[in-house]
Amino acid sequence: MEVTKNFVKHKRPCADGFRWFLKNHQKGCDYQPLLDALVDAGRVDDAQWLLTQFGPTDAVLKADAIEAESIVFAGTLEIQGNIEVASVVRAGRAIHTGGGIRAGHAIVAGENIRASGGIRSGTSIEAGGDIKAGGLDVQEDLRCGGDVRVEGDLFCGGKFSVGGNVFVRRDLTSNGAIHCGKNIRTGGSITGLNCISAGNGIECGGTIVCEGHLEANWGIKAQEAIVANGMIKAGESLFAVEEIRAGEGYGIYAGLVVQFDAWEASAQVRAKVKPERLMSGWWSGSFTA
Instruction: Please spell the DSSP secondary structure of 69-114, one letter per residue.
Output: S-EEESSEEEESS-EEESS-EEESS-EEESS-EEESS-EEESS-EE
Binned at pLDDT 50, 70 and 90, residue 1 comes out as low
pLDDT of residue 10: 45
Residue 28 exposed, middle or buried by CB count within 10 Å (0-12, 13-18, 19+): middle
Measure the CA–CA gap between 8 and 34, rounded to whole angstroms: 12
pTM of the full structure: 0.90
pLDDT of residue 22: 40
Backbone angles phi, psi at 125, to 5 degrees: -130, 135
Measure the CA–CA gap between 141 and 175, rounded to whole angstroms: 9
Binned at pLDDT 50, 70 and 90, residue 19 comes out as very low
Q: Percentage of the chain surpassing pLDDT 90?
A: 79
Is residue 271 predicted with pLDDT exceeding 50? yes
| Mean pLDDT for all residues in the chain | 91
pLDDT per residue as tens digits for the range 74-126: 999 999 999 999 999 999 999 999 999 999 999 999 999 999 999 999 999 99
pLDDT of residue 139: 97
Domain ranges of the chain: 1-54, 56-147, 153-289
Is residue 9 predicted with pLDDT exceeding 50? no
pLDDT of residue 95: 98
pLDDT per residue as tens digits for the range 123-164: 999 999 999 999 999 999 999 999 999 999 999 999 999 999
